[in-house]
């Protein structure tokens, strides 16, 4: 898996900051021809590696046959396409293997940042081969959040650098580069599957925006938000976001 992610990352990196076609799938949702090319490459390699596994990817029309599969590849060919098309480094190839609804292997390959993240269930997480561990922050005020701006209600938090890739932001919690990542919207499994395992294996606490356990290979392939934190602030984060999350999840 890591070799396949590296091949895909190198392919995307070679075309980064070049003249490629790009468009919007929907307003504010960019895609480019490299997304599609990486998707084809990764699918060919992964299906040869594990032919019996199902397939779920941002750049492939969903096939509900995957629901009958005990194993599932969950792929975002370029997570953080907005950064990719703007020539910014905050993007990654994201690949996860799901077994019975939970990620068991996760890889993020971020060549523009010189980062390779790996995790295997029960065996920890690494960044460029070195073990990573979530921080030990227990006080919610002062928590580091990868974001462009903080709303007034969260002015007691600290903004840190934010890559466009949600997977890389979650990985920042795994490596004690951030204390809290939260999204309050319906999101897709391919955005977070690999990163959720990386964070969890590094000792972070991960849930949906309401504090419930995330599940994968669901019929909708979506969950309401993601919340990745140091263990000591997770309950406080759920409490802080509770009213907003409940209002937005309806």
**Model confidence pLDDT, tens digit, residues 117-144:** 999 999 999 999 999 999 999 999 999 9
Q: Within this chain, do residues 115 and 179 fall inside the same structural domain, yes or no? A: no
- Sign, CA dihedral 102-189-193-154, equals negative
Q: Within this chain, do residues 186 and 239 fall inside the same structural domain, yes or no? A: yes
- 170 annotated as belonging to a binding site for a ligand: no
Q: pLDDT band for position 106 (50/70/90)?
A: very high
**In a domain? residue 184:** yes
Domain final residue, candidates 84, 101, 131: 131
pLDDT > 90? residue 250:
no
Q: Within this chain, do residues 35 and 102 fall inside the same structural domain, yes or no? A: yes
Closest CA to 234 of 155, 194, 179: 179
- 76 annotated as belonging to a binding site for a ligand: yes
Q: Within this chain, do residues 153 and 127 fall inside the same structural domain, yes or no? A: no
Residue 69's Cα: distance from chain center in Å? 22
**In a domain? residue 137:** no
Q: Containing domain of residue 12, as a range? A: 2-131
- 62 annotated as belonging to a binding site for a ligand: no
- 79 annotated as belonging to a binding site for a ligand: yes
Whether the full predicted model's pTM is greater than 0.95, yes or no, is yes
**In a domain? residue 149:** yes
The arithmetic mean of pLDDT across residues 21-29, rounded, is 93
Domain count for the chain = 2
Q: Within this chain, do residues 209 and 89 fall inside the same structural domain, yes or no? A: no
Q: What is the CATH number of the domain that holds 185?
A: 3.40.190.80
- 37 annotated as belonging to a binding site for a ligand: no
């Amino acid at each position: 898996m890591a070799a396949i992610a590296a091949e895909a990352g190198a392919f995307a990196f070679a075309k980064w900051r070049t003249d490629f076609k790009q468009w919007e799938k929907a307003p504010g949702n960019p895609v480019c021809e490299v997304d599609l090319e990486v998707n084809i490459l990764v699918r060919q390699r992964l299906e040869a590696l594990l032919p019996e596994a199902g397939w779920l990817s941002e750049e492939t029309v969903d096939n509900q046959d995957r629901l009958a599969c005990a194993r599932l590849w969950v792929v975002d060919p370029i997570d953080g396409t907005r950064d990719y098309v703007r020539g910014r480094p905050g993007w990654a190839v994201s690949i996860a293997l799901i077994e019975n609804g939970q990620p068991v292997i996760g890889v993020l390959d971020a060549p523009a940042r010189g980062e390779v993240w790996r995790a295997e269930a029960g065996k920890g997480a690494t960044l460029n081969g070195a073990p990573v561990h979530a921080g030990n922050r227990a006080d919610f005020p002062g928590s580091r959040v990868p974001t462009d701006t903080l709303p007034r209600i969260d002015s007691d938090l600290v903004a840190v650098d934010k890559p466009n890739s949600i997977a890389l932001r979650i990985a920042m919690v795994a490596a004690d580069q951030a204390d809290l990542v939260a999204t309050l919207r319906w999101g897709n499994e391919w955005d977070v599957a690999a990163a959720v395992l990386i964070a969890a294996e590094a000792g972070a606490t991960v849930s949906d925006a309401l504090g419930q356990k995330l599940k994968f290979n669901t019929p909708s392939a979506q969950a309401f938000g993601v919340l990745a934190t140091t263990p000591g602030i997770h309950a406080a984060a759920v409490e802080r976001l509770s009213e907003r999350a409940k209002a937005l999840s309806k």
